């Protein structure tokens, strides 16, 4: 039977079963579960809780040649990595969400004319009102008549005749 | 018969139910409840089967199914 005690993790082994004990306030439950998940293909893992500590039993599967102590060490490392990864995600959550929303917004393509017209102008108020009709197109303002006037007549009496093509 | 105790605050009951359904062809199960644990007793139905290994695989299945059912932190309501 071997036993080691570090600051927050306790480990002991007996009969091929490694028992680890994690302080739950340091190593969150999800991180320990994540670490256990990594070992499921090589060991039988069971987790329990007692007095604010997570107690993990790790037993190598039959045919697995890795030493139980090595698996226990790997478990501790993985639990630490999972805990740290969660901390990083927590600290950078705002930036991650910002980048993701920008990426998704860009993937949707540029906004269409209808989207721009429907968009709220916010504090711009009536800046885009057009009382003089400047934004009205020529076709809407001086649209061709139904009888189909020719372009030359529409240009007026002072218009120069079109030049004849030179040979 | 091997008895496994799953802490209610750690393991998802749906994951235990899923594991029982998955291992039904290989073992018989009895389920009971304690104040803090859900207790599953299993016994191999096939002769020559290593019950300790089956119990270990069952426990692993429950653990994996619990992890699969945990929502990422951003999706928690």
Task: Report if residue A109 sits inside a domain.
Answer: no
Q: Looking at residues B60-65, what average pLDDT do you find?
A: 94
Count of structural domains within chain B: 1
A2 pLDDT exceeds 50? no
| Other residues' Cβ atoms within 10 Å of the Cβ of residue A17 | 15
Determine whether the interchain pair B10/A40 forms a contact, defined as Cβ–Cβ distance below 8 Å: no
Q: Looking at residues A27-35, what average pLDDT do you find?
A: 89
Per CB-CB distance under 8 Å, the chain B contacts of A71 are: none
Which of A33, A49, A62 minimises the CB distance to B66? A33
Per CB-CB distance under 8 Å, the chain A contacts of B70 are: 30, 33
Q: Looking at residues A66-87, what average pLDDT do you find?
A: 85
| Cβ–Cβ under 8 Å, residues B63 and A36 | yes
B11 pLDDT exceeds 80? yes
Determine whether the interchain pair B53/A62 forms a contact, defined as Cβ–Cβ distance below 8 Å: yes
Q: Which CATH number fits the domain that encloses residue B47? A: 3.30.70
CA distance B21 to A59: 24
Q: How deeply is B3 buried, as exposed, middle or buried, from its count of CB atoms within 10 A (0-12, 13-18, 19+)?
A: exposed
Question: Which percentage of chain A shows pLDDT scores above 70?
Answer: 75
Which residues does B11 contact at the CB level (< 8 Å), separation at least 6? Answer: A47, B38, B62, B63, B66
Count of structural domains within chain A: 1
For all residues of chain A together, what is the average pLDDT? 77
3-state SS class at B43: strand
Q: How many CB pairs under 8 A join A and B?
A: 50
Higher pLDDT, A152 or B7: B7
Determine whether the interchain pair B60/A45 forms a contact, defined as Cβ–Cβ distance below 8 Å: yes
Cα torsion A81, A84, A90, A96 to 10°: value is -60
Q: DSSP label at B76? A: -
Q: Which CATH number fits the domain that encloses residue A9? A: 3.30.1360.10
ipTM: 0.86
B33 pLDDT exceeds 70? yes
pLDDT, tens digit (0-9, with 9 covering 90-100), for A108-158: 777 778 877 777 766 666 777 787 888 888 888 887 765 555 554 444 455
B58 pLDDT exceeds 70? yes
Q: DSSP label at B11? A: S
CA distance B24 to A127: 72
| Exposure string for A46-66, b = 16+ CB within 10 A, e = fewer | bbbbeeebbbbbbbbbeeeee
| Exposure string for B10-44, b = 16+ CB within 10 A, e = fewer | bbbeebbebbbeebeeebebeeeeeeebbebbbeb
Task: Report if residue A19 sits inside a domain.
Answer: yes
* The predicted structure's pLDDT at residue B39: 95
Question: By residue range, what is the domain housing residue B9?
Answer: 2-75
Nearest residue on chain A to B50, judged by CA atoms?
A62
Band (pLDDT 50/70/90 cuts) for residue A24 is confident
pLDDT, tens digit (0-9, with 9 covering 90-100), for A128-141: 778 788 888 888 88
Task: Report if residue A124 sits inside a domain.
Answer: no
Task: Report if residue A81 sits inside a domain.
Answer: yes
Task: Report if residue A26 sits inside a domain.
Answer: yes
- Both tokens assigned to A86: 């969660």
A74 pLDDT exceeds 80? yes
Question: By residue range, what is the domain housing residue A89?
Answer: 2-94
Q: Indicate yes or no: pTM above 0.90.
A: no
């Amino acid at each position: 039977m071997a036993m080691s005690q570090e600051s927050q993790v306790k480990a002991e082994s007996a009969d091929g079963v490694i028992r680890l004990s994690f302080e739950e306030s340091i190593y969150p439950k999800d991180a320990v579960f994540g670490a256990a998940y990594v070992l499921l293909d090589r060991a039988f893992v069971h987790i329990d809780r007692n007095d604010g500590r997570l107690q993990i039993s790790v037993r190598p599967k039959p045919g697995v040649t890795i030493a139980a102590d090595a698996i226990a060490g790997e478990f501790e490392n993985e639990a630490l990595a999972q805990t740290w990864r969660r901390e990083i995600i927590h600290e950078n959550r705002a930036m991650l969400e910002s980048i993701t929303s920008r990426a998704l917004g860009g993937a949707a393509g540029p906004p269409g004319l209808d989207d721009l017209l429907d968009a709220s102008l916010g504090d711009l108020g009536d800046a885009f009102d057009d009382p003089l009709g400047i934004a009205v197109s020529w076709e809407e303002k001086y649209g061709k008549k139904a009888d189909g006037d020719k372009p030359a007549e529409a240009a007026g009496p002072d218009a120069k005749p079109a030049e004849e093509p030179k040979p | 018969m091997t008895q496994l105790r799953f802490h209610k605050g750690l393991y998802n009951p749906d994951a235990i139910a899923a594991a029982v359904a998955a291992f039904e062809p290989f073992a018989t199960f009895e389920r009971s409840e304690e104040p803090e644990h859900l207790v599953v007793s299993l016994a191999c139905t096939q002769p020559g089967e290593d019950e300790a290994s089956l119990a270990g695989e069952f426990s692993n299945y429950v653990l994996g199914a619990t992890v699969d059912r945990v929502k990422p932190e951003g999706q928690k309501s």
